[in-house]
Structure 1
């Protein structure tokens, strides 16, 4: 190879490398611009102080899904202005709930070979009080009205309630003593008035009535049931069929839940219903889309729940009595809590 050929080859290589570098820089700049545009069009999120005991009106806390440095952090907005700027806490959670100055935050922990998970009990300033290992992928979390009990559910196999090939683990912790029931499947089951035993029992989606009683979903033999739990007797008693992810109303008289409906797609089988516990009458809400969430009572007449959105999930509301229509409350948010 002559000297001239070598110089030409070197020049061509430099030009090619320069072109590749330019393309990479332009691509990165384009992605950054797109990200900036998405953030500009999304909610304003700023770091600040977040408390579960706000003195300036009623707060709404959510896991923020808007792109930016505060994605996945617990943020707060005034409940009467949910589209307003969000204040970010710096605390990241996959699932979250709070009541009476106590929070439960389900987190992932990065590992060298694989991620693990933990349940963190938070105080009113979102500081850690205690944490426990979680056996799988977080899916549900609740705090009792008094703040004395926290519950969480994880998938220990599978990652969706839609099929039948999954297994859950549900735990409840007393924040006064740190005593933990790490698997509610050890409770005695009373089904249709009789003791019931089966190897395929799964329990998930706790909602608390008080510090002794709670409701949850029990699945067995391809059927789901609303069960009433009692800590004093350590029993789970079936109440109603075809109930998943129950949520007890503030006055304790109704359960909001997702129900499998006939004719729906196996991948999108659920609609949002409400059960009157006094009459055992169930009624559909005006939300006709598939609901894969544990709805939250925003007040005595309104339900709040997540649906898929552009950046993960958006929060929607609908009247609990079957009237009205569904309305989007917040974009890029999930896991809401009104820390009463």
Structure 2
């Protein structure tokens, strides 16, 4: 993730909607990938300091302050590229849900920022009924029981189905998420992690299913035609496969080839976003500036793709060793509690190749 600069020279961060130095209103331009200052000429027409063009703020920016993305004037949508993907929002009669909704939308925008940088397809389900992407933010249904205590009537399961990603609203609550992290024995459970993981299921449908890549996918990840229900039941009854660290990026990845892909996909997005952040801050280790894999054009030749992945992975190993050492010096848990096996590395390389292959073929 990049930092940006206001017209006054102040550093801006991705979620910002106002400059704390000059009080300028801010907006993010998704197509240009720029956060910049705006001059409000009227409610529906803001002048950008970046390109001198006029834009409209997203409806959710104006009415609910849960968004800071802008819309081009010729676009008839009231919602920005990100917000129009959200098909179901939380119940806003509960005032606490506004805060949780903001967190969900912010995590989604971070996901989309990386997806846009990788030049992957993004369309809503209303724009593309067969291949579109949508989000539903739902909360568990509760009811009064004996003694006026609240009990869960219906759980919301975070997951993906036919392009719709459902996120349980509780995942936006830090305390609840920490409790689930301990209960599920997941030493890395974050809101952005959920979005990246579930997007992996969506992009498996788009990039792998019924394509020429399916054979290589099965050679690396296994046969996705295995009964998902059976594999899930086995996982929750018996735990991950023995010595899962030798083949998978996480214990959960060992449940089924679909989950292996989604966990590896999420990990790849973690890597490229974190490396871009480090590069943006000028981080260098042993006279080597950390590589930004999102800064350069998609590689064309196989040798360029391979060398790009090699540098990405080498810089990732260097950076995470430093991050873990710094955390240990502060008496904190490792920032990066993973060891990447050769098998997991080959799966990450496959995803890197798939992203580059998609861009090379889609631009032909």
TM-score by length of 2: 0.29
Q: Which has a greater percent of helix?
A: 2
- TM-score, reference length from structure 1: 0.30
Larger RCO (CA under 8 A, 6+ residues apart):
1
Q: Which has the higher strand share?
A: 1
Higher alpha-carbon Rg: 1
